[in-house]
Amino acid sequence: MTNQGNRHEGNLQSTSASISSAQPAGPSPGALRAWGMRVAVVGFAVLWLTLLAASWADAASESKSGSDEYSFNWLDPDKKIYVLQNRRYSKANRLLVSAMGGMGASNPYRTSTVLEPRVAYYVSDSIGFEAFYSMSSNRENATFEALQLSAPNALPVVREVRSQAGLLAHWVPWYAKINVFNQILYFDWYFSGGIGTMQTALDTRTVAGSAAQFVDQNLSAFFAGTGHQYHLSQSWTVRLDFMGAFYRSPLMGTTGPSTWFSNYNFGVGLGYRL
């Protein structure tokens, strides 16, 4: 046994020796590639630093020359570049009444149209609170009709969201302006989150092709969303909003384990600030 083990070890050693003797002299291709990458990285860094230094020098010379060509005053007719810090359109201590309309984007078997009035009050330009109530109109879509034709005995679980109501907190971290057709447009980008309720209707029909039989279910929900407010004047605002509702309900509608579901709405509307 000892001799056999020695023979195996000897075979491994001789194989290693033959492999090492077959290696060519000089650096391997892998080493050359590694050195090439290092040289390329160093060269790129030197080039970037050179361009950066040249840019700084050019900016310094332009600022000393006092030329108005690169002062960018022509972008702001109010001659206030600092308007991004000193907001031209303030929301603080003002009430915002909005009328929103849009579409639902979650139910695979229904086309939903949403009408949503909102009332918001901002305690500062960054923090606000908003109450909303949304009403949804639902109708069977092409997916549901195709399923009924291809599989007449299939009965999917269909839950229609009839209405939503809740209270949201707004956080507005970004205030900006953009040039639209040579006109300055100011806007806020906000994030929202809150709690509320949902009034839903569950289709409980058991025979395919029969009339829908709905059972009302009221559910608690968490809401999260984001949106833009584009300021047309000190009073009028155009709004874009995307909001999701997250709620728990039985997996099979009325039976099964409780599972998290979501419902998303996208809306466009007009707001008036008091």
Question: Which tens digits make up the pLDDT trace of 16-31?
Answer: 333 333 444 455 555 5
Contact partners, residue 182, CB within 8 Å, separation at least 6: none
Match domain 83-273 to its CATH number in 3.10.20.740, 2.40.160.20, 3.90.920.10, 1.10.8.60.
Answer: 2.40.160.20
Q: b/e per residue, 2-35, with b = 16+ CB within 10 A?
A: eeeeeeeeeeeeeeeeeeeeeeeeeeeeeeeeee
Domain ranges (residues) in the chain: 27-71, 83-273
Is the dihedral angle over the CA atoms 96, 101, 104, 109 positive or is it negative?
A: positive
> How large is the average pLDDT for residues 53-74?
58
How do 236-250 and 258-273 pair as beta strands?
antiparallel
**For position 94, what pLDDT does the model report?**
94
User: Using CA atoms, how far apart are residues 201 and 272, in angstroms rounded to an integer?
Assistant: 33
In tens, the pLDDT along 68-97 reads 555 556 666 665 555 445 678 899 999 999
Q: b/e per residue, 154-179, with b = 16+ CB within 10 A?
A: ebeebbbbbebebebebebeebebee
In tens, the pLDDT along 114-166 reads 999 999 999 999 999 999 999 999 998 888 888 888 887 888 889 999 999 99
Name the region of 253 (left: φ>0; alpha: ψ -120 to 50; beta: rest). left
User: Using CA atoms, how far apart are residues 43 and 58, in angstroms rounded to an integer?
Assistant: 23
- Evaluate if pTM is beyond 0.85: no
